[in-house]
Amino acid sequence: MEKSNRLSLRIQIRSFKNTFFQVNDLPFKELLPDNLIKTIHQSGSSRDTVFTPLVTLRAFLFQVLSSTGSCKEAVAHVLIERISFNCSENSMNTGPYCKARSRLLLSHLKATVTSSGEKLHKQASNDWLWKGYRVMLVDGTTMLMSDTHNNQTTYPQQSAQKPGLGFPIVRLVGLLSLATGSCVDYVLGSYQGKGSGETSLFSQLIGSLSTLDLLLADRYYTTYAIMALLLKQGTPLVFRQRGNVTSDFRRGQRLGAKDHIISVKKPNKKPVWMPDNRWIALPDEIFVREFSVDGVVYVSTLLDSKKYPKKSLAHLYQQRWKIELDFRTIKTHMGMEMLRCKTADMVNKEIAIHLLAYNLIRANLSRAACLNDKKPRYLSFMATVQLMRNTASLCITLSGTGLGKLILPLLVAITETEIGNRTRPNQPRVIKRRPKAYPMMTKPRNEYVTC
């Protein structure tokens, strides 16, 4: 029988969902609904026979999850899939795959990130919540990328670096779920310049929060504008107090020892990122709760001291550090610290793919935790990645009972890699292995090249 060139849409959707354990009878289903998957598929050209949008998307996901992150490994993944479905083999040439990646729409990729992250966050088990609130974390981080003219134009390197010696740098501010670890929403900006600060970028994410969310953030976000906007839409918060603020617990409405409600007046100067009409619409004063635990001062809009004791809030705030660990996972373990793409448009897509892959792994951690009475935050992320890498080719071809027999033992295996209870003492941040004895680059690379 003659081999076909194109996988059917049904097989493409089934393969995509099966590869990432999105099976109907498991928890946290429909993270990527069929209508969104079909929308991605319909965005491709009818001439695409091998690298359709769905095939390209899945290959891109496994590229960022692979140990090398190379395009060649992604093409090999597609080759194995086509052989398993008795389709004509694709070439190992990476050119068609790279062109197919560039045809993926950034809007669709961003939608897959927010859809998967938001549904995972909202479907979290009640046992993973804090007093009924779905706790959200916010913070910013930066990534470097290939030093090309296009990347430098959109995301310039730091101004302190000489031309040709630095790397383009992008700032990311993300909203991550404390319970499941998923990335609910994110925004990108340049490292320097007007509107590129963390609070400026975060202002674009406030609409992604709801009244059922509780936001934790460091002291950089403790500004009048941010607190007033969150109060206006009914999202409670717990922040660290800014270091330049002197707390006087003798004033205001006393709630307990070093615990009171204070009035915060509207500053005369508005933030540079806020339009005049939005600044004028903010109230002239807001009331927040300020309290101290073990010498650390916090600010919150949860004013009921009996329902929300200050020590309980301070203990919750310690969980804010998990977003730092999540960013380390995405950047260091998943390789997003140094982006590979040569244009800013592809860099934006590469970031979206990293975050989507991260959410899909977090979904499997949550499934395993839910079925085996665990908490996803105490299960190993990288162990799950390794399991999925090794079972991807099997998940593509299996269906029905066979797939269920494979996935359920894998979810049990994920729960056997618990973390967070290690007794090893803290290790110093030093290295033993010496780096290569090469001199530092002090001039642009082309000046070193000799004919």
Does 402 lie in the same domain as 386? Answer: yes
Determine the pLDDT at residue 445. Answer: 83
Confidence of residue 1 (pLDDT cuts 50, 70, 90): very low
Q: Is residue 225 part of a domain?
A: yes
Contact in structure between 381 and 333 (CB atoms under 8 Å): yes
CATH of the domain at 157: 3.90.350
Contact in structure between 97 and 75 (CB atoms under 8 Å): yes
Is the pLDDT at 424 greater than 80? The verdict is no
Does 305 lie in the same domain as 208? Answer: yes
Q: Is residue 316 part of a domain?
A: yes
State the average pLDDT over residues 430-434: 88
Does 162 lie in the same domain as 284? Answer: yes
Is the pLDDT at 442 greater than 50? The verdict is yes
Q: Is residue 432 part of a domain?
A: no
Helices 106-122 and 344-371 sit at what angle, rounded to 10 degrees? 20
Domain that holds residue 394: 9-104+379-415
Does 117 lie in the same domain as 94? Answer: no
State the average pLDDT over residues 50-55: 87
Contact in structure between 78 and 37 (CB atoms under 8 Å): no
Please state, rounded to an integer, the average pLDDT across all residues of the chain. 89
Convert the pLDDT of each residue in 310-320 to its tens digit.
999 999 999 99
Structure tokens belonging to residue 229: 């906007």
Contact in structure between 184 and 117 (CB atoms under 8 Å): yes
Confidence of residue 3 (pLDDT cuts 50, 70, 90): low
Question: Which of 327, 348, 369 delimits the end of a domain?
Answer: 327
Determine the pLDDT at residue 346. Answer: 96
Convert the pLDDT of each residue in 367-394 to its tens digit.
999 988 999 999 999 999 888 888 877 7
Convert the pLDDT of each residue in 88-118 to its tens digit.
888 899 999 999 999 999 999 999 999 999 9
If you write DSSP's letter for every residue of 12-38 in order, what string do you get?
HHHHHHHHTT--TTSSS--SS-HHHHH
Does 148 lie in the same domain as 232? Answer: yes
State the average pLDDT over residues 278-286: 94
State the average pLDDT over residues 126-130: 94
Does 219 lie in the same domain as 97? Answer: no
How does DSSP classify residue 179? Answer: T
Confidence of residue 400 (pLDDT cuts 50, 70, 90): low
Does 68 lie in the same domain as 40? Answer: yes
Q: Is residue 302 part of a domain?
A: yes
Q: Is residue 356 part of a domain?
A: no
Does 290 lie in the same domain as 241? Answer: yes
Does 143 lie in the same domain as 252? Answer: yes
Higher pLDDT among residues 150 and 42, named by residue: 150
Main-chain phi, psi angles of 143, to 5 degrees: -135, 150
Determine the pLDDT at residue 45. Answer: 66
State the average pLDDT over residues 299-304: 96
Structure tokens belonging to residue 344: 């800013």
Domain count, the chain: 2
State the average pLDDT over residues 142-166: 91
Is the pLDDT at 5 greater than 70? The verdict is no
Structure tokens belonging to residue 207: 């609409």
User: Rounded to an integer, what is the distance from CA 127 to the centroid of its chain?
Assistant: 23
Determine the pLDDT at residue 157. Answer: 92
Collapsed DSSP state (helix, strand, coil) of residue 215? strand
Q: Is residue 344 part of a domain?
A: no
Q: Is residue 440 part of a domain?
A: no
Q: Is residue 321 part of a domain?
A: yes
Does 147 lie in the same domain as 64? Answer: no
Determine the pLDDT at residue 425. Answer: 79
Contact in structure between 366 and 127 (CB atoms under 8 Å): no
Question: Which of 307, 327, 347 delimits the end of a domain?
Answer: 327
State the average pLDDT over residues 345-370: 94
Does 216 lie in the same domain as 194? Answer: yes
Contact in structure between 296 and 314 (CB atoms under 8 Å): yes
Convert the pLDDT of each residue in 186-239 to its tens digit.
999 999 887 788 999 999 999 999 999 999 999 999 999 999 999 999 999 999
Does 96 lie in the same domain as 119? Answer: no
Q: What is the pTM of this model?
A: 0.92
User: Rounded to an integer, what is the distance from CA 417 to the centroid of its chain?
Assistant: 22
